[in-house]
Structure 1
Amino acid sequence: MKTTTTWTGKMGFLGKNPSRHEVKMDGPATIGGEDNGSRPTELLLQAVAGCTAIDIISILRKMRIEPERFETEVEGTRAEEHPKKFTHIHIHYILDGDIPEKKLARAIKLSKDEYCSVSHTLNADITASYTLNGQKGEMDV
Structure 2
Amino acid sequence: MNNNKPSILKACVDFQQNQVDRFESRLDTIKADMNSQDTSPSQTENRNTGKLEVIANYEKELVFAKRELSVLNSIKPDLTSDQVELGAVVYTKDLNFFISVSVGKFSVDGKEFIGISEQAPIYKVMEGLKKGDTFSFNQSTYTIENLY
Q: TM-score when scaled to structure 1?
A: 0.35
Bigger RCO of structures 1 and 2 (CA < 8 A, at least 6 apart)? 2
Whose helix proportion is higher, 1 or 2? 2
Bigger Rg over Cα: 2
